[in-house]
Structure formats: C-alpha cells, structure tokens
Structure 1
Amino acid sequence: MTLATDVQRPNAGDTVELYDVDCTAIFGEVLRFSPVPLIPDASSPAPAPITWRGQIYAPRACKSEGWLWDGQGPLPQPKLTVGNTDLAISALCIAYSDLQGAIVTRHRVPFKHLDGMPDADPDIEHDPDIFVIDQKTTQNKLVVEFMLGTAIDIEGRMIPGRQVVQGYCPWRYRRWNGSEWVYPTGTTACPYTGEAMFDERGNPTDDPAKDRCAKRLGIGCKRRYPTGDLPFGGFPGAAKYRG
C-alpha cells in the first residue's frame, strides 16, 4: 500500500506529528518527541508516549510554523518552539552549542500506522520535512525557540561545523555492559574493536569494565593504534606555532 491510496480511503483517520532532533553530528544523541500544546489543558488526561518504527517519542510541549513552500521565492525557515519547564532543552543548549547544526525531521504519520495498531504499515508516512537548526532565537524558563534552515541555505556556516579542540577527542567509545561490548553507532562513534584495553589514564588493564578511552592522542588513540592511521577526533594541528 502507498500513502496516496491510503489517504483516499474513507477511514484515513488522523495524522500524528513526530519530531527527531538528531544531534549526533554535534556529538549528542537523537531527541525524539511528540508535540503536545504549550499550554496544557488540565481537564485532559496526561499524554502518553508514542511508539513508531520501534522508537519511543515522549510527549513534549511544542509548536512549529513555516514549513510550507510553494516552490517559488526564498526557501522556508520554520520556527520550532519547544517547552522548557524542566530545563532539559536549556541543558542541551549548554552542552551542544545551542544545538546549532542539529538536524530536525518532522514526520507526519497516519495514526493507524503507529506501532501497535492492527493494520500498521511502518513504511507509510507523508514526505518528511528535514531542516537544520540555524540559530536559537529565544530561551527562557518556559520555552526555547529555534530558527531552522535548509542544509543549502545556512549562511555563514564555517567548516568544520564543530568546535576546534586541539587535544581532546569527542568520539564516543565502546562500553562493557557486564557480558559484552556495546558499540556506539553513527558519525561520532569510535571505530576501535581491538582486544587491548586501557583505563582512562592510559594504563593497560585486563578488566573490560575499566576500559576507558583517555580521549587524548598519546595515551588514548596511540595506545590502541600503535601503527597505521589514527581515528583521532580532535585537531592536533590547531596547536599554536612556535618559531
């Protein structure tokens, strides 16, 4: 079944909005939420999380506007306003440079195709809207507001699109869960899968629970890669030149 045939049915039903805020490009995680009104209705039951394609979307106060584009004139710059009463969004802004560069995807999914519905088809959704956070425009104890832009319409973007730190590697390292290794995924994952283990000071260890990367070129990366190329995520060449 396709979306075109599905929406023409008499029982097409409601459409649900879901948001992915992918911060992996700026060394964070993926924040998933389903929007609820910024001003809650006290008489309504508390909203429940939504599951789609195996991912849980937690309810969060949110509103957005400016997604539509008629194919003429400048590209749209949607505005995304997210509830901040728990200060969780403020914390993310502090940790990840106001989330600038994070990828925002707005999904619009027919309610009957959410996980758990009798005839759910996870492949059916409207064309997703994909934008990049250009700047934070408002922040207070109630909301944080972001201006979005398309990847080809972000003015003044510098390369690299992250902070240049000389001696620190931001890549996410594997962890031991008590029985096996858990390896991170995505563009910020450290590729190391070797048997040699070292603690956070670079000392050899036989205990996988103590295996920690020092996040430094010498006692972290070079210990694990004594020969060949180093997947170090920092910028060692950014050191000040001394003549």
Structure 2
Amino acid sequence: MSYVLDQQAEGLVLGARIELLEVDISSVVEGAPTYRFTPNVTSTGDIVRYNGFVWAATALRTSGMLYDGTGGLPRPTLELADVNGILMMEAMKYQDLVGCTVKRWITCEQYLDPNPNAAWGPEIFVVNKKIAADGTRIVLELASIVDQRNMVIPKRRMFRKEFPGLARTRPRG
C-alpha cells in the first residue's frame, strides 16, 4: 500500500481513480506474453502509461475482489472485452489460461508517471477457470494464490533438523 495515496485519500479530493490489471501468461508458460489492461483513459483522453508500460484501454468488469473478513478468500470474476479475439486465441493455446497470474493495482491519475510506486496493490490472483468465452468477451474466475486446487502449505515436508520449532514441547516424565 502506498503512503502517498493514503495521505491523499484522507483529504477531500482523491483524484481520478485508475484501475490496472495485468494478465501474465508467462507465469505458466515461459516466453508467453503478458497483457496489461485498464478500463480507464486519462482526463485528456490519452492512453494510460504506468511503471514504464502502456496499458490498453479495454472494456472490463471486476467483481468480488473484496476481502470481507468472514473467513473465506475471495473468488473474484474478471470479464474482459475480446473484440479482436486475442484472449480467446491465447485461452485455446494455453489451457484456458488456468494458472496465469492476474495482478491488480489501483492508483490515481496524477501518480501515473511521476510516482509509479503510489498505488494500492498489487493484489495477486491466479486464474482458477474460464467461465465463458463467446468471441466478444471472456470471463475468468480468479482465486487467491493460496486458494488453489491440490495446493498445500507448506509445499514440502518439514523436519525438526531443518525447523527447530517443531521440536517436542511436551514435558518428559
């Protein structure tokens, strides 16, 4: 979380909110592309540039990204316009994009170029499954990194020799 944005949020005027989403297919297949989307344009109508990248202005909708404290991890959905069919083609090529990393940042327009660290996030999710794709849009269900099928924590067995905290704590007697 950004100290600069926290200070700005406490004031009366926050500025234009910019949402940024990155779909990283290379997290599953080495050498695969990374796509960057935003549903926003700047107030002057220019394309969004953030952290040295150009973010494609695309119609998109996110829902369910809220951590509400009721115990369950969020399972948000991401709906992206896919007018030219690029995402549908990538989904067919890379197993419906399952396992790809999706990162989400929220920032304000005035912090796009001068301070790329002034953003809330990244919130990191993984594509859990493709819900729908019809050639004009693609809908993905996302999951938290620790909320994956067949995922256990820790990923390896723990032994007392390597992890001394696992030693017996019961008194002997």
TM value normalised by structure 2: 0.76
Is 1:2 the counterpart of 2:31? The answer is: no
Counterpart-to-counterpart distance in 2, 1:16 and 1:25 = 25
What is the match of residue 55 of structure 1? 53
8 Å contact from structure 1 (residues 34, 49) kept in 2: no
Aligned length: 144
What is the match of residue 64 of structure 2? 66
8 Å contact from structure 1 (residues 113, 122) kept in 2: yes
After the TM superposition, which residues 188-203 of structure 1 pair with which residues of structure 2 at under 5 Å, given as runs? none
User: Identical aligned pairs, as a percentage?
Assistant: 26
Deviations 1:96-130 (A, max 9, x none): 11111111011101111012xxxx32211113221
4+ residue segments displaced more than 3 Å: none
What is the match of residue 35 of structure 2? 31
Query: Greater relative contact order (Cα 8 A, min sep 6): structure 1 or 2?
Result: 2
Q: Which of 97, 100, 108 is the equivalent residue of 2:98?
A: 100
8 Å contact from structure 1 (residues 64, 81) kept in 2: yes
Q: Secondary structure at the match of 1:5?
A: helix
Q: When you count strand as a share of all residues, which structure comes out higher?
A: 2
> CA-atom RMSD, angstroms?
1.9
With over 3 angstroms needed to count, the CA separation of the structure-2 counterparts of 1:93 and 1:48, relative to structure 1, is: farther
With over 3 angstroms needed to count, the CA separation of the structure-2 counterparts of 1:48 and 1:87, relative to structure 1, is: farther
What is the match of residue 122 of structure 2? 128
Opposite residue 124 of structure 1, the aligned amino acid is A
Counterpart-to-counterpart distance in 1, 2:14 and 2:21 = 21
Deviations 1:28-66 (A, max 9, x none): 121101126xxxxxxxxxx64210111110111211100
8 Å contact from structure 2 (residues 5, 107) kept in 1: no
Deviations 1:75-95 (A, max 9, x none): 100000111221111111012
Counterpart-to-counterpart distance in 2, 1:114 and 1:124 = 8
Q: Structure 1 unaligned runs (5+)?
A: 37-46, 158-243
8 Å contact from structure 1 (residues 60, 83) kept in 2: yes
Opposite residue 78 of structure 2, the aligned amino acid is L
Counterpart-to-counterpart distance in 2, 1:26 and 1:48 = 32
Deviations 1:119-153 (A, max 9, x none): x3221111322100000010102211100001111
Counterpart-to-counterpart distance in 1, 2:4 and 2:58 = 30
8 Å contact from structure 1 (residues 23, 99) kept in 2: yes
Opposite residue 75 of structure 1, the aligned amino acid is L
Is 1:140 the counterpart of 2:134? The answer is: yes
How much does 1:21 deviate?
0.7
How much does 1:12 deviate?
2.3
